Amino acid sequence: MSINIAIDGPAGAGKSTIAKKLAEELGYIYVDTGAMYRAMALYVLEHDINLEDEAAVAAACPDINIRIAFEDGTQCVYLNGENVNGRIRTEQISGMASKVSAQSAVRAHLLELQRSLARSADVIMDGRDIGTHVLPDAQVKIFLTASVKVRAERRYKEYLEKGQPAVLEEIEKEIRERDERDMNREIAPLKQAEDAVLVDTSSMDISQVVACIRQIIIEKTEQL
Protein backbone atom coordinates (compact mmCIF):
# COMPACT_ATOMS: atom_id res chain seq x y z
CA MET A 1 0.00 0.00 0.00
CA SER A 2 1.32 3.45 -0.85
CA ILE A 3 1.89 6.09 1.81
CA ASN A 4 -0.07 9.28 1.31
CA ILE A 5 0.68 12.58 2.98
CA ALA A 6 -1.89 15.34 2.59
CA ILE A 7 -0.92 18.98 3.02
CA ASP A 8 -3.80 21.43 2.85
CA GLY A 9 -3.99 25.12 3.56
CA PRO A 10 -4.73 28.54 2.12
CA ALA A 11 -2.89 30.30 -0.71
CA GLY A 12 0.65 31.34 0.17
CA ALA A 13 1.01 29.25 3.32
CA GLY A 14 4.15 27.66 1.84
CA LYS A 15 2.62 24.30 0.97
CA SER A 16 4.44 23.77 -2.32
CA THR A 17 7.87 24.90 -1.10
CA ILE A 18 7.67 22.67 1.96
CA ALA A 19 6.08 19.69 0.18
CA LYS A 20 8.70 19.81 -2.58
CA LYS A 21 11.61 19.83 -0.11
CA LEU A 22 10.18 17.03 2.01
CA ALA A 23 9.30 14.88 -0.99
CA GLU A 24 12.86 15.14 -2.25
CA GLU A 25 14.32 14.39 1.16
CA LEU A 26 12.04 11.49 2.02
CA GLY A 27 11.77 9.96 -1.46
CA TYR A 28 8.10 10.74 -2.11
CA ILE A 29 6.51 12.10 -5.25
CA TYR A 30 5.21 15.64 -4.86
CA VAL A 31 1.78 16.21 -6.37
CA ASP A 32 0.56 19.80 -6.69
CA THR A 33 -3.21 19.64 -7.24
CA GLY A 34 -3.56 23.43 -7.52
CA ALA A 35 -1.65 23.22 -10.82
CA MET A 36 -4.41 20.97 -12.19
CA TYR A 37 -7.09 23.57 -11.38
CA ARG A 38 -4.84 26.22 -12.89
CA ALA A 39 -4.59 24.22 -16.13
CA MET A 40 -8.41 23.91 -16.22
CA ALA A 41 -8.61 27.70 -15.78
CA LEU A 42 -6.12 28.23 -18.61
CA TYR A 43 -8.29 26.15 -20.94
CA VAL A 44 -11.38 28.16 -19.99
CA LEU A 45 -9.47 31.40 -20.59
CA GLU A 46 -8.04 30.37 -23.94
CA HIS A 47 -11.35 29.03 -25.25
CA ASP A 48 -13.29 32.15 -24.26
CA ILE A 49 -15.62 30.16 -22.05
CA ASN A 50 -17.56 32.28 -19.57
CA LEU A 51 -16.18 31.27 -16.18
CA GLU A 52 -19.46 32.03 -14.45
CA ASP A 53 -21.43 29.81 -16.84
CA GLU A 54 -21.26 26.48 -15.00
CA ALA A 55 -23.11 24.61 -17.74
CA ALA A 56 -20.64 25.81 -20.37
CA VAL A 57 -17.65 24.88 -18.19
CA ALA A 58 -19.17 21.45 -17.46
CA ALA A 59 -19.83 20.90 -21.18
CA ALA A 60 -16.16 21.68 -21.92
CA CYS A 61 -14.78 19.23 -19.32
CA PRO A 62 -14.78 16.16 -21.61
CA ASP A 63 -12.54 18.12 -24.01
CA ILE A 64 -10.03 18.97 -21.30
CA ASN A 65 -7.39 16.33 -20.84
CA ILE A 66 -5.09 16.98 -17.89
CA ARG A 67 -2.11 14.67 -17.55
CA ILE A 68 0.68 14.77 -15.00
CA ALA A 69 4.23 13.66 -15.72
CA PHE A 70 7.30 13.84 -13.51
CA GLU A 71 10.37 15.06 -15.35
CA ASP A 72 13.64 15.33 -13.40
CA GLY A 73 11.58 15.19 -10.22
CA THR A 74 9.40 18.12 -11.28
CA GLN A 75 5.67 17.81 -11.83
CA CYS A 76 4.69 18.81 -15.37
CA VAL A 77 1.06 19.51 -16.16
CA TYR A 78 0.01 18.65 -19.67
CA LEU A 79 -3.15 20.29 -20.97
CA ASN A 80 -4.34 18.42 -24.06
CA GLY A 81 -0.78 17.29 -24.71
CA GLU A 82 0.97 20.61 -24.05
CA ASN A 83 3.19 21.26 -21.03
CA VAL A 84 1.61 24.40 -19.50
CA ASN A 85 3.83 24.74 -16.41
CA GLY A 86 5.17 28.07 -17.63
CA ARG A 87 1.74 29.61 -18.19
CA ILE A 88 -0.30 28.87 -15.08
CA ARG A 89 1.48 30.99 -12.45
CA THR A 90 -0.11 34.38 -13.12
CA GLU A 91 -2.44 36.41 -10.88
CA GLN A 92 -5.16 36.12 -13.51
CA ILE A 93 -4.97 32.32 -13.53
CA SER A 94 -4.81 32.22 -9.69
CA GLY A 95 -8.14 34.03 -9.45
CA MET A 96 -9.72 32.03 -12.26
CA ALA A 97 -8.55 28.69 -10.79
CA SER A 98 -10.12 29.61 -7.47
CA LYS A 99 -13.44 30.36 -9.21
CA VAL A 100 -13.46 27.38 -11.53
CA SER A 101 -12.53 25.02 -8.68
CA ALA A 102 -15.82 25.80 -6.93
CA GLN A 103 -17.71 24.03 -9.72
CA SER A 104 -18.71 20.40 -9.21
CA ALA A 105 -17.99 19.26 -12.78
CA VAL A 106 -14.45 20.60 -12.55
CA ARG A 107 -13.76 18.92 -9.21
CA ALA A 108 -15.23 15.63 -10.42
CA HIS A 109 -13.08 15.86 -13.54
CA LEU A 110 -9.85 15.99 -11.49
CA LEU A 111 -10.70 13.73 -8.56
CA GLU A 112 -9.89 10.38 -10.19
CA LEU A 113 -6.61 11.68 -11.57
CA GLN A 114 -5.59 12.81 -8.07
CA ARG A 115 -6.65 9.53 -6.44
CA SER A 116 -4.95 7.38 -9.05
CA LEU A 117 -1.65 9.25 -8.55
CA ALA A 118 -1.92 8.59 -4.81
CA ARG A 119 -2.62 4.89 -5.38
CA SER A 120 0.32 4.43 -7.68
CA ALA A 121 3.11 5.87 -5.49
CA ASP A 122 4.08 7.29 -2.12
CA VAL A 123 2.98 10.91 -2.48
CA ILE A 124 2.97 14.21 -0.70
CA MET A 125 -0.07 15.89 -2.20
CA ASP A 126 -0.95 19.51 -1.56
CA GLY A 127 -4.19 21.36 -2.11
CA ARG A 128 -7.30 22.48 -0.27
CA ASP A 129 -9.38 19.33 0.17
CA ILE A 130 -6.81 16.54 0.12
CA GLY A 131 -7.19 15.45 3.76
CA THR A 132 -10.94 16.01 3.85
CA HIS A 133 -12.06 14.73 0.47
CA VAL A 134 -9.48 13.46 -2.02
CA LEU A 135 -7.51 11.21 0.34
CA PRO A 136 -9.57 10.85 3.52
CA ASP A 137 -7.46 7.81 4.49
CA ALA A 138 -4.08 9.56 4.10
CA GLN A 139 -1.71 8.31 6.81
CA VAL A 140 -0.47 11.85 7.56
CA LYS A 141 -2.50 15.06 7.29
CA ILE A 142 -1.12 18.53 7.80
CA PHE A 143 -3.03 21.81 7.74
CA LEU A 144 -0.51 24.53 6.96
CA THR A 145 -1.47 28.11 7.54
CA ALA A 146 -0.12 31.60 8.27
CA SER A 147 -1.63 35.04 8.74
CA VAL A 148 -2.86 36.86 5.61
CA LYS A 149 -0.21 39.53 6.10
CA VAL A 150 2.66 37.07 6.24
CA ARG A 151 1.35 35.12 3.24
CA ALA A 152 1.00 38.30 1.18
CA GLU A 153 4.53 39.40 2.06
CA ARG A 154 5.93 36.02 1.04
CA ARG A 155 4.14 36.15 -2.34
CA TYR A 156 5.30 39.74 -2.86
CA LYS A 157 8.94 38.72 -2.31
CA GLU A 158 8.55 35.78 -4.70
CA TYR A 159 7.32 38.10 -7.46
CA LEU A 160 10.15 40.55 -6.89
CA GLU A 161 12.72 37.75 -6.96
CA LYS A 162 11.32 36.63 -10.31
CA GLY A 163 11.56 40.22 -11.55
CA GLN A 164 7.77 40.48 -11.88
CA PRO A 165 6.03 43.73 -10.88
CA ALA A 166 3.92 43.44 -7.73
CA VAL A 167 1.92 45.63 -5.35
CA LEU A 168 1.75 44.30 -1.79
CA GLU A 169 -1.72 45.69 -1.05
CA GLU A 170 -3.13 44.09 -4.20
CA ILE A 171 -1.63 40.72 -3.35
CA GLU A 172 -3.09 40.93 0.15
CA LYS A 173 -6.53 41.75 -1.27
CA GLU A 174 -6.29 38.89 -3.78
CA ILE A 175 -5.31 36.43 -1.03
CA ARG A 176 -8.23 37.54 1.18
CA GLU A 177 -10.64 37.08 -1.72
CA ARG A 178 -9.22 33.68 -2.57
CA ASP A 179 -9.42 32.52 1.07
CA GLU A 180 -13.01 33.67 1.23
CA ARG A 181 -13.96 31.77 -1.95
CA ASP A 182 -11.95 28.62 -1.20
CA MET A 183 -13.31 28.36 2.36
CA ASN A 184 -16.92 29.17 1.67
CA ARG A 185 -17.71 27.21 -1.47
CA GLU A 186 -20.26 24.41 -1.19
CA ILE A 187 -18.19 21.54 -2.55
CA ALA A 188 -15.00 20.40 -0.82
CA PRO A 189 -14.22 23.75 0.81
CA LEU A 190 -10.84 24.49 2.33
CA LYS A 191 -10.96 23.33 5.93
CA GLN A 192 -8.82 21.45 8.38
CA ALA A 193 -9.58 17.71 8.52
CA GLU A 194 -10.44 16.54 12.03
CA ASP A 195 -7.36 14.32 12.10
CA ALA A 196 -4.97 16.87 10.57
CA VAL A 197 -2.13 18.49 12.50
CA LEU A 198 -2.32 22.30 12.41
CA VAL A 199 0.97 24.07 11.68
CA ASP A 200 0.91 27.88 11.78
CA THR A 201 4.02 29.12 9.97
CA SER A 202 3.52 32.86 10.59
CA SER A 203 6.66 33.15 12.67
CA MET A 204 8.65 30.25 11.24
CA ASP A 205 11.17 30.18 8.41
CA ILE A 206 11.25 27.46 5.75
CA SER A 207 13.82 25.28 7.50
CA GLN A 208 11.82 25.39 10.76
CA VAL A 209 8.61 24.39 8.96
CA VAL A 210 10.39 21.57 7.12
CA ALA A 211 11.87 20.29 10.39
CA CYS A 212 8.50 20.47 12.14
CA ILE A 213 6.62 18.60 9.42
CA ARG A 214 9.43 16.07 8.90
CA GLN A 215 9.09 15.20 12.58
CA ILE A 216 5.32 14.78 12.29
CA ILE A 217 5.72 12.53 9.22
CA ILE A 218 8.39 10.39 10.88
CA GLU A 219 6.32 9.95 14.04
CA LYS A 220 3.15 9.06 12.14
CA THR A 221 4.75 6.73 9.61
CA GLU A 222 6.84 4.89 12.24
CA GLN A 223 3.59 3.74 13.79
CA LEU A 224 2.44 2.11 10.51
By the criterion CB under 6 A, which residues form the site for ligand DC? Answer: 11, 33-34, 37-38, 94, 97-98, 101, 127-130, 178, 182
- To the nearest whole angstrom, how small is the minimum distance from the Cβ of residue 65 to ligand DC? 18
Nearer to ligand DC by Cβ, of 88 and 217: the residue is 88
Q: Quick one: DSSP state of residue 131?
A: I
H or E stretch at 106: helix 104-120
- To the nearest whole angstrom, how small is the minimum distance from the Cβ of residue 180 to ligand DC? 11
- To the nearest whole angstrom, how small is the minimum distance from the Cβ of residue 207 to ligand DC? 22
H or E stretch at 33: helix 33-46
Nearer to ligand DC by Cβ, of 60 and 75: the residue is 75
Which strand ranges, in their side-by-side order, compose the sheet holding 74-79? 66-71, 74-79, 82-83
Sign of the Cα pseudo-torsion (35, 36, 40, 43, in order): positive
- To the nearest whole angstrom, how small is the minimum distance from the Cβ of residue 222 to ligand DC? 27
Nearer to ligand DC by Cβ, of 14 and 127: the residue is 127
- 205-211 LR contacts (CB < 8 Å, sep 24+): 206/14, 206/17, 206/18, 206/21, 209/14, 209/18, 209/144, 210/18, 210/21, 210/22, 210/25
Nearer to ligand DC by Cβ, of 11 and 193: the residue is 11
Which strand ranges, in their side-by-side order, compose the sheet holding 29-32? 29-32, 123-127, 4-8, 140-145, 197-200
Nearer to ligand DC by Cβ, of 142 and 224: the residue is 142
